[in-house]
Amino acid sequence: MKKKIVILPGDGIGKEVTACGKKVLEQVAECFGHQFSFDYATIGHEAIEATGTPLPDASLEKMKNCDAVLFGAVGHPKYDNDPSAKVRPEQGLLKMRKELGLYANLRPIKLFDELLGASSIKPEILKGADILFFRELTGDVYFGERGRKDEGKTAYDTMIYSRYEVERIAHKAFKAALTRGKKVTSVDKANVLESSRLWREVVQDVARQYPDVEVEHMFVDAAAMKLIQNPRGFDVVVTGNLFGDILTDEASQIAGSMGMLASASIGDTVGLYEPIHGSAHDITGKGIANPLASILSAALLLDISFGLKEESETVIKAVEKTLREGYRTRDIADATTAHEKI
Amino acid sequence: MKKKIVILPGDGIGKEVTACGKKVLEQVAECFGHQFSFDYATIGHEAIEATGTPLPDASLEKMKNCDAVLFGAVGHPKYDNDPSAKVRPEQGLLKMRKELGLYANLRPIKLFDELLGASSIKPEILKGADILFFRELTGDVYFGERGRKDEGKTAYDTMIYSRYEVERIAHKAFKAALTRGKKVTSVDKANVLESSRLWREVVQDVARQYPDVEVEHMFVDAAAMKLIQNPRGFDVVVTGNLFGDILTDEASQIAGSMGMLASASIGDTVGLYEPIHGSAHDITGKGIANPLASILSAALLLDISFGLKEESETVIKAVEKTLREGYRTRDIADATTAHEKI
Ligand SMILES: CC(C)[C@H](C(=O)O)[C@@H](O)C(=O)O
Ligand SMILES: CC(C)[C@H](C(=O)O)[C@@H](O)C(=O)O
């Protein structure tokens, strides 16, 4: 198989971890006789420094003309502490998601048996938990109109969803549920928000087309609680952009660490694969970042974008073997000692 | 001391638990020689059934003319599954918060030693955790303009904050921090949202007036993760209405169960005290609801609205003693068996 992959390292530990993800892809190509060619593109703080914009057109062009993207992370503390900054690394990420039509962000949450001790949650609560999140990625308060009024003294953002946006992600979630535990939990805040009431209406409509899938509607506050209380109660979760952002970071504790979690962003065109962790400037350059989320992102890429199931499984098995042999980054060392250091 | 208390049972288990909270207040009055008089008012589903509106004017009047309110919960599954319902129990709750100017919702999260086993989180991670949340309660996407467009196919809500709203709750949080661990964590999503950037600006300004308090800014996704990973890393947390709703429900797992968590809503006029749990119709009328959140709400009421520290402590000690003697509702039985039933 001949494929073109764009590597988008981005900021902070993004560079370190995508380097590992790329190595694994190269190894897979060699072992299985594929031809993967690699190209690099810039995004985020690095791109701002070089070109003044967080997502140069050249990067977007490259991504539009390749078979899959392996992405690292964006972000820089400089902007975080300066609420008045006009240009920000995150704008590059959001623009990329929108322009590439990456509306469905799949975040599988599964604990490797070897890491049962690494989580702050009790092993007997975690064992067997296996959740697949579908986070909507190109709508919601991330992309609604925002601004200031009253001479800058008031600020607003618009949480907004249209039927078709909810429909397409709901279909993806229900289809996935058919191949798994046959249950979809849709998360919203329909007791307060109009956009959530639309969300719930549409999910109810879509659900009727999948009579074999059990559907459950849950308020986001209850979901944040139940994820920790009984993670095995979830199979497929579908939710909006903001709630998905919060809940999947929280759910990373089910997998022991954020450093273990890969994600796939798919939609109209090319697929993009990235760790759910961020740029983590506090540990950048120290050689302690966990590369497994990027390596597992590469496994998702092989599976979803290239249909290479065996290759993908081989990568996952290699990760398992490495963990079984006792190799650990700091974030997945035993939780009772590790949490002191974070 | 002579005081007028309004009991607002609301829906579902709200009735059962406020009955217990009231009993405790009566007992305190008797033991300490106070005169507490009680009056009842309606809200929520019950009020809709009786009067067509979720918060009758009569209820509001009573609350405006008393010294403190003990509230239960609102909500009914009937509305949850009907996104098109025009009148909803929750509207009564939101209107009450707004009309009474209850802009600061204090949610103390502390684990009773006896309940170390009841949480899904490892005891060694939890031990010593003690967090005080300040959730802003009368702004944000809860009260911004909302509606439909495109013939109902698009729905929106407005997330909105003004400087003065952030200032007043930030001051409350920093003042509280001075009497505790001297650290405030402000939670927002300033890397994406304009309302969060305003939030961060204002908290930075207010922080300068409290040089003895350490201030930390955290994105809501990171906060959702870190709360579970290392709850001892938090002292006072201040955040907006929506993020506070999600994070405090999640944090209930730190206290073993939502059934343990009390909250105080304060602001311009009278103080209102309520469990953070909801109406829980699935367990209503079964006699299994945990009354401790309402009883601990009564303790907060004695302390904050009446300044009766000793009385408040006595109630808390009684709760401790009850737990020490081994009494448990189902939600705080040992987590490894209890989570099966939820
Ligand atoms: C960096 C940030 C804008 C981003 C998001 O909120 O979507 C990140 O948290 C993520 O989850 O990919
Ligand atoms: C019932 C609901 C509207 C309410 C809220 O979201 O504020 C509840 O979850 C709470 O936390 O008090």
The one-character DSSP state at A165 is H
Find, among B141, B323, B105, the residue nearest to A194 by Cα.
B141
The CA A260 to ligand 2 mean position distance, Å, reads 33
Q: Coil, strand, or helix at residue B197?
A: helix
Q: Which two tokens stand for residue B295?
A: 């009883």
Tell me the best of A245, A246, A279 to mutate to test the pocket of ligand 1, counting ligand atoms within 8 Å of each CB and taking the most: A245
Q: How far is CA A206 from CA A82, A155, A201, in A?
A: 43, 35, 9
The per-residue pLDDT for A340 is 35
Ligand 2 atom closest to B242 (CA): 6
Q: For the domain covering B1-102+258-342, report its CATH number.
A: 3.40.718.10
Percentage of residues of chain B with pLDDT beyond 70:
97
- Give the Cα-Cα-Cα angle A241, A245, A250 (nearest 5 degrees): 150
- Per run of 10 residues, the mean pLDDT along chain A (length 342 residues) is 97 96 98 98 96 96 97 93 89 96 96 91 94 98 98 98 98 97 98 97 98 98 97 98 97 92 93 95 93 97 97 97 93 57 32
Ligand 2 atom closest to B245 (CA): 11
* For residues B104-111, average pLDDT: 95
Q: How far is CA B133 from CA A112, A128, A248, A270, in A?
A: 33, 33, 22, 42
**A-chain residues near B124 (CB < 8 A):** 336
Q: How many CB atoms lie within 10 A of CB A26?
A: 15
Nearest CA to ligand 1 atom 7: A245
Which one of B84, B282, B339 makes the best mutation probe of the A interface by having the most chain A beta carbons within 10 Å? B339
* For residues B211-234, average pLDDT: 97
**CA pair distance B277, B111, nearest whole angstrom:** 16
Beta bridge partners of A263: A274
Provide the pLDDT confidence category of residue B82 given band limits of 50, 70 and 90.
Answer: confident
First to last CA, chain A: 42
Provide the pLDDT confidence category of residue B336 given band limits of 50, 70 and 90.
Answer: very low
**CA pair distance B9, B44, nearest whole angstrom:** 9
Query: CB under 8 Å to A27, separation ≥6 — which residues?
Result: none
User: In this complex, is the C-beta atom of B154 within 8 Å of any C-beta atom belonging to chain A?
Assistant: yes
**A1-101+267-342 and A120-255: same fold?**
yes
Domain ranges within chain B, ordered by starting residue: 1-102+258-342, 120-255
Q: Which CATH class for the A1-101+267-342 domain?
A: alpha beta
By the 8 A CB rule, do A296 and A255 touch? Answer: no
The one-character DSSP state at A278 is -
Burial of B51 (0-12, 13-18, 19+ CB in 10 A): middle
* Sign of the CA dihedral running B163, B167, B169, B174: positive
The per-residue pLDDT for B334 is 62
On whether B245 is known to bind a ligand per the annotation, the reply is yes
The per-residue pLDDT for A334 is 62
* For residues B167-186, average pLDDT: 98
Mean pLDDT of all residues in chain B?
94
Strand blocks (E) in chain B? 2-10, 35-40, 68-73, 104-110, 130-136, 146-149, 154-162, 183-188, 214-219, 236-239, 262-266, 271-275
**CA pair distance A176, A206, nearest whole angstrom:** 13
Q: Would the CB atoms of A125 and B230 count as touching at under 8 Å?
A: no
**Which residue from B80, B193, B250 is facing A250, i.e. has the nearest CB?**
B250
User: In this complex, is the C-beta atom of B117 within 8 Å of any C-beta atom belonging to chain A?
Assistant: no
User: In this complex, is the C-beta atom of A341 within 8 Å of any C-beta atom belonging to chain B?
Assistant: no
**CATH 3.40.718.10 corresponds to the domain A120-255:** yes
Q: Would the CB atoms of B144 and A150 count as touching at under 8 Å?
A: no
Query: CB under 8 Å to B135, separation ≥6 — which residues?
Result: B104, B105, B106, B107, B239, B240, B241, B244, B245, B248
The per-residue pLDDT for B265 is 98
Residue A222 Cβ inside 6 Å of ligand 2? The answer reads: no
Stretch (H or E) spanning B218? strand B214-219
Q: Coil, strand, or helix at residue A135?
A: strand
Nearest CA to ligand 1 atom 6: A245
With a cut of 50, say whether residue B190 has pLDDT above it.
Answer: yes
With a cut of 70, say whether residue B188 has pLDDT above it.
Answer: yes
The per-residue pLDDT for B197 is 97
Stretch (H or E) spanning A90? helix A89-99
Q: Would the CB atoms of A157 and B153 count as touching at under 8 Å?
A: no
pTM: 0.95
Measured in degrees and rounded to the nearest 5, phi and psi for residue B291 equal: -85, -5
By the 8 A CB rule, do A118 and A256 touch? Answer: yes
The per-residue pLDDT for B191 is 94
